[in-house]
Amino acid sequence: MVRKILYSLIVISLAFVVNQVRGTSLSANNNNLTTTLTNTAPPVSTAVMTGSLEVRITASNPATAVAAADITVSSVEVYTGDGWTKMTLADSNKVDLIKALTAEQTIARLSEFAAGNYTQIRLTISRVDVTQEGGQSIKAGVSASKLTFIQNFPVTARNTTVLVVDFDALRSISSSGSQVSFKPTANFFYTSPGALLMMPANIPQAEMGVPYTVNLRAFGGVQPYSWSISMGDLPPGLSLDPQTGVISGTPTASGVFGATVRVDDNSPNRKNTARNYFMGVADKGALQIITGILPDGRQDGDYRATLLAVGGAQPYTWGISANNLPAGLTLDVATGIVSGAASVSGDFTFVIKATDSSNPANTDTQVLNLHIGKQLLTN
């Protein structure tokens, strides 16, 4: 009897121990699972990350004697690799290129668009109506109704990429008597997702006593934009319109002036960007080279710099009147661009000369220094 009792107690004890061990083991497994989920990245979602795409139209270089130029866009598509995807047209699919000279207009949108890199968009123009100053609206003949633009552009998650089609109104519209034709000439670019872009990169030079106008433009934000000078000054006599971004007036002093222009959009987070502009103002009728400093270069490295002049009668002709450029660099006599790859290093001094198209011609010279650093050596 005693043996049976002892045996039963041993069995019960062993069972209890086994159950305790099993319980600990299961508990440990659960803890390991919890720890694994806490200390590692969550499972990758199978949902596709999406962003948004907008296509906007703007215009530059106003057409001569044209009061309105309405283009009607019937379709905007983006190429995805598997074919063309249609974008949703805006409430108004008609754009007046004359009004677009000062304000971009959204023509199509695409929301919940898969993030990635894309290469093409296509616009279909169904009609163009041109109104000449003091005349009636005339339906223009369109030489090409489908415009395809090839340019790499990104779409990123939770951001909007803005694509801009910038029509050159002067080159696109031509007329002969009562006949008007529209041969689309346009540039295509995009703003980085969520960013604001200001153009142009450089502004024309000016001449004292001569009326001056240049239109700064912003892209990629929510209109209306607000413009301001955040640093420096425009030449005396010129001012920046805070609503339109137009710099205008008549310069009253000569010299070289620099100003930082800032533009803010009307979005809740008030996106902004700024650009530094340098403007030379020449004495009336005089020709003046305003490039006084050249950027440094490096031996065997690509080099490019543009010489600038103001005043006189354009076009200018450029040359070297004393000494020479470093070997490997050349000066384009028509554009004033110094480019190439210097084959030597050192410090070089030379004299550049600009000649205008007046009769008799005006000339100006400028001594310039250029430092070419030694070639970079890599292992």
Write the pLDDT tens digit of every residue in 325-375: 999 999 999 999 999 999 998 889 999 999 998 888 889 888 888 888 876
The distance from CA 233 to its chain's CA centroid, rounded to whole angstroms, is 24
Domains and CATH numbers, the chain: 50-191 (2.60.40), 197-282 (2.60.40.10), 287-373 (2.60.40.10)
Query: Whole-number mean pLDDT of the chain?
Result: 81
Cβ–Cβ < 8 Å for 56, 104: yes
Q: Is the pLDDT of residue 292 over 70?
A: yes
DSSP strand pairing (88-89 vs 105-114): antiparallel
CA angle 256, 261, 263 (to 5 degrees): 165
Output the six-digit token pair for 313: 């009668």
As a whole number of Å, the CA-based R_g of the chain is 33
Amino acid at 307: L
pTM above 0.75, yes or no: no
Q: Is the pLDDT of residue 72 over 80?
A: yes
Write the pLDDT tens digit of every residue in 80-131: 988 999 999 998 899 999 888 877 899 999 998 999 999 999 999 999 999 9
Segment 252-271 shows an average pLDDT of 89
Write the pLDDT tens digit of every residue in 229-240: 999 999 999 999
Provide the pLDDT for residue 154.
92
Sign of the torsion formed by the C-alpha atoms of 22, 23, 24 and 25 = positive
